[in-house]
C-alpha cells in the first residue's frame, strides 16, 4: 500500500465538495490580469470557513505542500498565479458580510466578499467605503488586503491598510491569529496586521476583516485645470490641500503627451478646454456641507486663475460634466484599442522629484526609440505615477528593455518600483531597486520565522 | 591577561566620549514617568550618528549584551527603563532636523529630536505636524515612533505611524535598514516600517525618519457640549463627522464623575455651563476656510441643540474660552494635588461598547469599594477611554486589585489593555487579555528572527 498523498489527506480532511481536482475545475480562470501565465494547480480548495482554511493549511504544512491563495484574480503582477506544483486556495465561498455596526462605523466581512458588494452595503447603511479601483466588481477584500490596494481616493482616505481595524488570518501551520478588533487605537505589542497586509499571500491567509466605514460625502466639486508647468502643478496641490477645508479627494495629473494621445485615439472623449496645455489636473473635493461646498471650491478655483497658477479651467456643472472629465483620466481601460502591446508602469516618488522623473524617462526612452509614445499621468498627491510606453512596430518585443529604462530611473530617484500593484513575480527582479539588501534580508527572516517550510505562495516577492 | 569585556570593546570601538560608565553619569535621569523603578545601566552610550549606533549594536550582539534604547524617558509603562544588566543607548545627541522639503511636505529628522522642536519647525516652514501630547517638550520622535504615540488629534490625523513616510533603523546585529523614502505609496514587499513602529525598542533602534507634514489649519471652532445620555454622545460623534466638512479634530468626552471631581478640587477651573449634566463633550474642528468655518460650526451646533442631542452648549468666542474648556479636559496633569495615589488606565474599545464598559467598571469598583472615586474620560472618536480610580485611605495599596477589575472588563469586552501607552513592563501581565496566544506566538517568532540573541530591550512587552 502506498503512502497517502497530500491530495488524499486534503480530501480526507475536507471532502470532495471542498477539494476539487483539475478534471473538475477545467474551464476555470487560472491566472490574473497581469498577462503572466498561470499554471494549473494540483487541486483547488474552496473552504467554507476559517476552520476549513486552518485544516487545509495544517495538511499542507505537514506535507510541505505549496499553496497559492486566490481572490478575484484581478492582480497585475502575477501574485496569485500558480507557478507549478501549488494547490490553489480560493476564498470565493467565504463572501459573507457578517455584521454592520452603525455606532462603531464598522463592517465585519469574510475575505472573499467582492469590493463592490462592500461599497454598496456601506452606502445602503448610510456610510461610505472609500477604497475604489477599476476591478471593483471582481476583486475581493482579501485580495485588497493581501496587496494593500490603492486607487483614486488615497489622497483623502489612504490605502487599504487605512480602511481596516482588525483582521483574522491563518498562519502557515494552520494556527488562527484572530484580531477582529473594532478599536482605532491598540498599542499592545507588534503590529501584525500591517505586516500581513501587503504581504501578497506569503505570510498568512487572511480570512476575515473588520472594515472601517466613513461618513457618506454629500457634496462633490470637480474641475478640469490646465497648468503652464510642473511647478504650478505642485503649487496647486499644496494650495488645494491647504485651503479647501473639506480636503482634496482626487488630484489626477496628466502630461500633455497622455492627453493628446487619448484625445486623438478615442473618439468618444471630448476636450474640456479649447486649447492645448503642458499639464492638466483633474481636481476633486468631496465634502459634507452642500450649502457651502460649491461656493468655497469655486472661490478657490477663481483665485488660482487670478494668480496664474491655473491657466484655464472648466468647472463641472453637472454629474455628466464630471463624468466626461473622469473619462479622460480613465482612458487607460481603452488602451487595447490603439496600443495593444504597450508596457505599463506603476511607480512612486517624492512629489518634489516627479516632474524631473517624467522628463528623464521621456528623454531616455526617446533617445533609444525616437518614435516612442510616452504617456504619463497619475495620482500626484501620493507621488504615484503611471507611465505607459508604446514603441510602434515592436509588438511588445522590447518590453524588457523598457523595464530597464523605467526601473533604472526609479532606482536613481529613490522611488518605488511598485506604488500600488505589489511585486508578485512580475517585479521580483526589481525589488532591490527600492528595498535595501538589509531590508530584504529582514523580510526573508520574517518569512522563514512565520512560514518555515515556505509553503505560502513561494516564489513571489523575493 | 583576562578577556576583554563588552565595556572594553565598546570603549575601543566608540571611545570614552560616547561610552560613559556609571561614575560619569551619576545624577542622570534613569527612569521614565511610569513610576516603575529603573536600574542603573552598566554603561551609557550616546551615539553621534547612525554608524555609531551600528557599531554599538555590533559589539553588543557579539557579546550577547542587552541594550535598552532611551529617548526622552517620558513613557508611562517602564518600556525605556533598564531592568538590570543592560547598557543604555540614548539618542539624545542625534537631534538634528536634516531637511524640510516644502514641495513634498516632508521633514527629515534624527530620532533624538524632541517632538516640540519638530512642531515648531513645521510651523516656521508654513506647515503643521499634528502629533501632540503633554510630554511634547521632552519626548523625542524616536520614542514617539517606538511607542506609536497617540494624543489629542488622532481622530483627524491618526497616530504616529500615520505621520511618517520612511524610517532608518539599526537591527540587533548592527545592520542598517534604511528606507528614508518620501513616497506615500510603496507596495514593494513587507511593511517593515509599521512592524518596527510600536515595537518598543525590542526589534530595532530607529535612528532617522522622514515625517509627513500637513497644511497648517487656519480656522478653529471649539464648543463645550452637555448631553443627556451615552446614546446622544455617539449620535453627536457620528453627526459631527458626517456634517462638518472640515472634520472633527477633537471629540473629548467626560463623564459627570470626572467633571464633578475636577471642578470640586481644582479652584482655577470654571464651569462652562450653569447646570450639571450626565455627559460633556469638548468638540473641536480645525479647518482652512476662515470665511465659512465658524458659520458652519455654529449652524451645526444650533441643529444639535434643536434636535435635543445636545442639551446645552457653550461656543468658544475667543482663544481664552477655548483654553478654559481645554483646561477642564487637561486637569489630569493636576491629579497629584488631590489624588496623589490614584491608579490610571489607558484602554480602548469599540465605540458601541464604551458606554456599557464605563458603567460596568464603575459598578464593579463601587461594589468592592463603595467610596471609590471613578473618573472616566477619553478620546471617544478613537474608542480610547482613560479611567482613573482613587480609593480613599488606601494610599495606592490596592493598585493591583484595581488593575484586575479594569483589565478583566477590558478582556471581556474585547478591548485593548493599551490604547496608546504601549506594554513595557507595566502591562506585560495583561498582554494576553488583548492579544491571542497565536498572535503572541507569532510576535515571539518575529522577535527571535530579528534579534536571535535577544539583546534589544529584553523583558519588555512579553
pLDDT single digits (tens) B230-247: 999 999 999 999 999 999
* Cβ within 8 Å, pair B101-A350: yes
Chain B residue numbers with beta carbons less than 8 Å from the beta carbon of A349 are 182-183
Using CA atoms, how far apart are residues A128 and A137, in angstroms rounded to an integer?
16
Fold of A339-419: Alpha-Beta Plaits (3.30.70)
* Cβ within 8 Å, pair B187-A219: no
**φ, ψ for residue B45 (rounded to 5)?**
-105, 125
Angle at CA of residue A119, ends A114 and A123, nearest 5°:
150
Using CA atoms, how far apart are residues A107 and A128, in angstroms rounded to an integer?
11
Chain B residue numbers with beta carbons less than 8 Å from the beta carbon of A303 are none
In this prediction, residue A28 carries a pLDDT of 87
Question: Which H or E run includes A215?
Answer: strand A214-215
* Cβ within 8 Å, pair A105-B419: no
Secondary structure (3-state) at B168: strand
Chain A residue numbers with beta carbons less than 8 Å from the beta carbon of B188 are 416-418, 422-423, 427, 431, 434-435
Q: Residue A100 gets which letter from DSSP?
A: E
Contact between A55 and A13 under an 8 Å Cβ cutoff? The reply is yes
Secondary structure (3-state) at A65: coil
* Cβ within 8 Å, pair B187-A423: yes
Using CA atoms, how far apart are residues A410 and A397, in angstroms rounded to an integer?
22
Using CA atoms, how far apart are residues A206 and B320, in angstroms rounded to an integer?
50
Mutate to test the interface with A, among B159, B171, B178, B184 (most CBs of A within 10 A): B184
Using CA atoms, how far apart are residues A221 and B245, in angstroms rounded to an integer?
13
Cell reading at A27: 474551464
What are the CA-CA distances from residue A428 to residues A79, A142, A425 (Å)? 10, 22, 5
- Locate the DSSP E strands across A276-422: 279-287, 312-315, 343-348, 373-379, 384-390
Residue whose C-alpha cell is 569585556: B5
Chain A residue numbers with beta carbons less than 8 Å from the beta carbon of B436 are 177-179
Query: Given its phi and psi angles, is residue A148 left (phi above 0), alpha (psi -120 to 50 degrees) or beta?
Result: left
Using CA atoms, how far apart are residues A207 and A438, in angstroms rounded to an integer?
31
Using alpha carbons, select from A179, A143, A162, A196 the residue that is nearest to residue B195: A196
Using CA atoms, how far apart are residues B68 and B83, in angstroms rounded to an integer?
9
- Locate the DSSP E strands across A231-306: 250-255, 279-287
Stretches in chain B below the pLDDT threshold 50: none
Chain A residue numbers with beta carbons less than 8 Å from the beta carbon of B246 are 245-246
A104 touches chain B (CB under 8 A): yes
B419 touches chain A (CB under 8 A): yes
Contact between A314 and A321 under an 8 Å Cβ cutoff? The reply is yes
Using alpha carbons, select from A302, A312, A309 the residue that is nearest to residue A236: A309
Cell reading at A418: 511598485
Contact between B264 and B307 under an 8 Å Cβ cutoff? The reply is no
- Locate the DSSP E strands across B259-332: 279-287, 312-315
Chain B residue numbers with beta carbons less than 8 Å from the beta carbon of A431 are 188-189
CATH code reported for the domain at A219-333: 3.30.70.2190
Q: Residue B288 gets which letter from DSSP?
A: S
Using CA atoms, how far apart are residues B56 and B43, in angstroms rounded to an integer?
11
Contact between B292 and B354 under an 8 Å Cβ cutoff? The reply is no
Name residues whose C-beta falls within 8 Å of residue A309's C-beta, 6 or more positions apart in sequence. A227, A232, A235, A236, A239
- Locate the DSSP E strands across B245-381: 250-255, 279-287, 312-315, 343-348, 373-379
Where are the domains positioned within chain A? 6-90, 97-215, 219-333, 339-419
- Locate the DSSP E strands across B56-132: 67-70, 87-90, 97-101, 106-110, 127-128
Using CA atoms, how far apart are residues B171 and B201, in angstroms rounded to an integer?
10
In this prediction, residue B291 carries a pLDDT of 86
Q: Which residue of B has its CA nearest to A232?
A: B103
User: Who among B187, B197, B427 is closest to A420 (CB)?
Assistant: B187
Cell reading at A293: 461646498
Question: Which residues between 27 and 46 in chain B have a beta carbon less than 8 angstroms from any beta carbon of chain A?
Answer: none
- Is the CATH number 3.30.70.2740 carried by domain B339-438? yes
Name residues whose C-beta falls within 8 Å of residue A2's C-beta, 6 or more positions apart in sequence. none
* One fold for A219-333 and A339-419: yes
Fold of B97-215: 3.30.465
Question: Which residues between 139 and 168 in chain A have a beta carbon less than 8 angstroms from any beta carbon of chain B?
Answer: 147-148, 150, 154, 159, 161-162
Using alpha carbons, select from B13, B299, B115 the residue that is nearest to residue A290: B299
Fold of A6-90: 3.30.43
In this prediction, residue B29 carries a pLDDT of 87
What are the CA-CA distances from residue B366 to residues B359, B361, B369, B392, B413 (Å)? 11, 8, 5, 12, 19
Stretches in chain A below the pLDDT threshold 70: 1
Q: pLDDT tens across A342-371, in order?
A: 999 999 999 999 999 999 999 999 999 999
Using CA atoms, how far apart are residues B212 and B128, in angstroms rounded to an integer?
9
Dihedral angle over CA of B180, A379, A109, A446, nearest 10: -20
Q: Which residue of A has its CA nearest to B446?
A: A446
Amino acid at each position: 500500500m502506498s503512502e497517502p498523498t497530500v491530495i488524499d489527506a486534503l480530501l480526507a480532511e475536507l471532502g470532495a465538495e471542498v477539494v476539487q481536482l483539475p478534471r473538475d475545475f477545467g474551464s476555470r480562470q487560472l491566472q490574473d490580469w497581469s498577462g503572466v501565465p498561470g499554471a494549473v494547480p494540483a487541486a483547488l480548495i474552496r473552504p467554507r470557513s476559517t476552520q476549513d482554511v486552518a485544516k487545509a493549511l495544517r495538511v499542507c504544512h505537514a506535507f510541505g505542500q505549496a499553496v497559492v491563495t486566490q481572490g478575484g484574480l484581478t492582480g497585475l503582477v502575477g501574485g496569485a498565479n500558480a507557478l507549478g506544483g501549488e494547490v490553489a486556495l480560493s476564498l470565493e465561498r467565504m463572501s459573507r458580510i457578517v455584521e454592520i455596526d452603525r455606532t462603531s462605523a464598522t463592517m465585519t466581512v469574510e475575505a472573499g466578499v467582492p469590493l463592490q458588494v462592500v461599497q454598496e452595503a456601506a452606502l445602503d447603511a448610510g456610510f461610505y467605503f472609500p477604497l475604489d479601483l477599476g476591478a471593483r466588481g471582481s476583486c475581493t477584500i482579501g485580495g485588497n488586503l493581501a496587496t494593500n490596494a490603492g486607487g483614486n481616493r488615497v489622497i483623502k482616505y489612504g490605502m487599504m491598510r487605512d480602511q481596516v481595524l482588525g483582521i483574522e488570518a491563518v498562519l502557515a501551520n494552520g494556527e488562527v491569529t484572530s484580531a477582529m478588533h473594532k478599536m482605532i487605537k491598540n498599542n499592545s505589542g507588534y503590529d501584525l496586521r500591517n505586516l500581513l497586509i501587503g504581504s501578497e499571500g506569503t505570510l498568512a491567509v487572511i480570512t476575515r476583516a473588520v472594515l472601517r466605514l466613513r461618513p457618506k460625502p454629500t457634496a462633490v466639486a470637480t474641475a478640469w485645470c490646465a497648468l503652464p508647468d510642473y511647478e504650478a502643478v505642485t503649487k496647486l496641490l499644496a494650495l488645494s490641500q491647504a485651503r479647501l477645508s473639506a480636503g482634496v479627494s482626487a488630484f489626477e495629473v496628466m502630461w500633455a503627451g497622455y492627453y493628446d494621445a487619448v484625445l486623438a485615439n478615442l473618439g468618444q472623449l471630448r476636450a474640456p478646454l479649447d486649447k492645448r496645455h503642458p499639464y492638466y489636473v483633474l481636481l476633486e473635493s468631496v465634502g459634507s456641507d452642500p450649502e457651502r461646498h460649491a461656493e468655497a471650491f469655486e472661490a478657490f478655483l477663481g483665485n488660482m486663475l487670478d494668480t496664474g497658477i491655473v491657466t484655464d479651467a472648466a468647472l463641472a456643472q453637472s454629474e455628466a460634466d464630471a463624468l466626461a472629465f473622469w473619462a479622460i483620466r480613465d482612458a487607460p481601460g481603452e488602451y487595447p484599442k490603439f496600443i495593444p502591446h504597450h508596457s505599463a508602469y506603476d511607480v512612486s516618488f517624492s512629489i518634489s522629484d516627479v516632474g524631473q522623473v517624467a522628463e528623464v524617462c521621456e528623454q531616455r526612452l526617446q533617445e533609444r526609440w525616437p518614435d516612442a509614445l510616452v504617456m504619463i499621468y497619475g495620482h500626484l498627491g501620493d507621488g504615484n505615477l503611471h507611465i505607459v510606453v508604446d514603441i510602434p512596430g515592436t509588438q511588445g518585443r522590447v518590453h524588457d528593455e523598457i523595464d530597464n529604462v523605467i526601473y533604472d530611473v526609479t532606482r536613481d530617484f529613490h522611488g518605488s518600483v511598485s506604488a500600488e500593484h505589489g511585486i508578485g513575480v512580475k517585479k521580483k527582479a526589481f525589488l532591490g531597486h527600492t528595498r535595501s539588501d538589509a531590508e530584504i534580508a529582514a523580510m526573508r527572516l520574517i518569512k522563514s520565522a512565520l512560514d518555515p517550510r515556505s509553503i505560502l505562495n513561494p516564489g513571489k516577492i523575493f
